[in-house]
Amino acid sequence: MVRIDKWLWASRFYKTRSLAKKMVEQGKVKVNGQKCKPSRNIDVGNMLRIKKADLVWEVEVLGLIEKRVSAAIAQTMYLETEESMKKRESEVLLKKMEYHSTPKPDKRPTKKQRRDIKNFKSMG
């Protein structure tokens, strides 16, 4: 049995354990469809729903680890559902398309243009 905050950190879903703990407390992580506390122990076979930024992972726990390991080993500790993968990939693709469709300037603004921008922003 492993605490959920330790497992999320060790499986590389969150960069720090304190961040994993914070996300569990905020209800961003659910075990078998229910909110939980960071101290909750998880077992092999539990289904987790993990929200991170705008993306959602639905994974089944395949292995328990307490120490942070390489990404290749960490990915063997869970199995993501097919529908979760498809949904997440479509979200990423949509964000990329949105990013590439926004207009971008050809070059950086000149000193005068920066002053004008600063004055314009300070008026509002």
Q: How many domains does the chain have?
A: 1
pLDDT digits (tens, 9 = 90+) for 83-106: 999 999 999 999 999 999 989 889
Write out the two tokens for 69: 């390991």
Decide if 61 is inside a domain: yes
Decide if 115 is inside a domain: no
pTM of the predicted model as reported, rounded to 2 decimal places: 0.80
For residues 18 and 14, what is the distance between their CA atoms, to the nearest angstrom?
9
Inter-residue contact 9 to 50 (CB < 8 Å): no
Decide if 121 is inside a domain: no
> Which stretches of the chain are DSSP H helices?
4-10, 17-25, 71-74, 82-101, 111-123
Decide if 10 is inside a domain: yes
Identify the domain containing residue 59 by its residue range. Answer: 2-104
Q: What is the pLDDT of residue 22?
A: 97
The β-bridge relationship of strands 55-61 and 78-80 is antiparallel
Instruction: Tell me the CATH number at 35.
Output: 3.10.290.10
For residues 41 and 61, what is the distance between their CA atoms, to the nearest angstrom?
12
